[in-house]
Structure 1
Amino acid sequence: MSGMYPPGDPRPSPTINAGKLWAGGAATAAVAALIAIAGLLLGRGLFGVDVLAPKGEGTWGDASTGWYALGAALAALAATGLIHVLILTTPRPMRFFGWVVALATVVAMLAPFVTDESLGSRMYTAGLNFVLGMAIGSLVAGTAKTAVIPVVVRPAPRPRPGQYG
């Protein structure tokens, strides 16, 4: 493929519709926050398990519910920032993004197991973190794929036969 680009010219970088990417990131943040809230309500209300924090007042809980939802939203925005940087700077950005999201999800799933909470609480929290990781990863990746503006590479015109002599 070396003949495809002029000598000394770097391979063209893709461009990105940043507005579209970040609008999708904001929507993903809202979805992640709602998943976190629904997961907390389900865990505390239906299964009676604590999710990373004590239950507090009733099923809804205290400020920890808001902090958990905020953390999920911030994770979605961080993932959006990561994919934006990866698209602009790395080869195969979606592959690197997939690895980072997968490993971050594994870390989030393992984090509850360093607490002294009950096994049920740790398992439920790990499951909720898995759902959040999958939702954030898939939604941000899908948005990024639609926000990338493909680079059109036009080959240099070939000389017509007899044009140069």
Structure 2
Amino acid sequence: MFHIPVLAPARDGAYGTANTTSYALGAAVVALLATALLELLLDAMPNPLTFFYWITGLVTAAATILPFTVPADQNAQYATAAINLITGCAMISMLGSIAPGSIRSA
């Protein structure tokens, strides 16, 4: 959209390379792990959403900082960090909003 090569160099086209696929598959795996974590916390903790928000918030913060640890163009670092932050916040809000309906009362 802004012509910033985020996940692949601009010369690789709109799709990119195998790195683009691995990034998307990695995001899918992280979403499944977050769902499994939420399920585990719902079964084992007295206040599961607090633990879930803290754990996923810290992981999202780490994923947002991670692009700045690799050598790349500064615009690409900012764009990738923004994508990681938006994706993490979306995942946290979606899973957090459906969790109260999954809590079983005694």
The letter of the residue matching 1:137 is I
Question: What whole-Å deviation, never above 9, does each CA across 1:36-55 have from its counterpart, x for those lacking one?
Answer: xxxxxxxxxx2222324434
Unaligned runs of 5+ in 2: none
Rg larger for:
1
Given the alignment, which residue of 85, 94, 106 partners 1:130? Answer: 85
* Percent identity of paired positions between Structure 1 and Structure 2: 36
Alpha-carbon distance in structure 2 between the residues aligned to 1:55 and 1:97: 37
C-alpha displacement at 1:103, in angstroms? 0.4
- In the alignment, is residue 66 of structure 1 matched against residue 21 of structure 2? yes
CA RMSD in angstroms comes to 1.5
Q: Is the 8 A contact 1:56 1:62 kept in 2?
A: no
More helix by share: 2
Alignment coverage as a number of residue pairs: 106
Question: What whole-Å deviation, never above 9, does each CA across 1:74-112 have from its counterpart, x for those lacking one?
Answer: 111100110111111122110010001110000000000
Hey, what does 2:103 align to over in structure 1? 148
Greater RCO, 1 or 2 (C-alpha within 8 Å, sep 6+): 1
Classify the secondary structure of the residue corresponding to 1:149. coil
Hey, what does 2:71 align to over in structure 1? 116
Normalising by structure 1, report the TM-score: 0.60
Hey, what does 1:106 align to over in structure 2? 61
Given the alignment, which residue of 91, 100, 103 partners 2:46? Answer: 91
Alpha-carbon distance in structure 1 between the residues aligned to 2:51 and 2:4: 35
The letter of the residue matching 1:130 is L
The letter of the residue matching 2:18 is A
Q: Is the 8 A contact 1:49 1:120 kept in 2?
A: yes
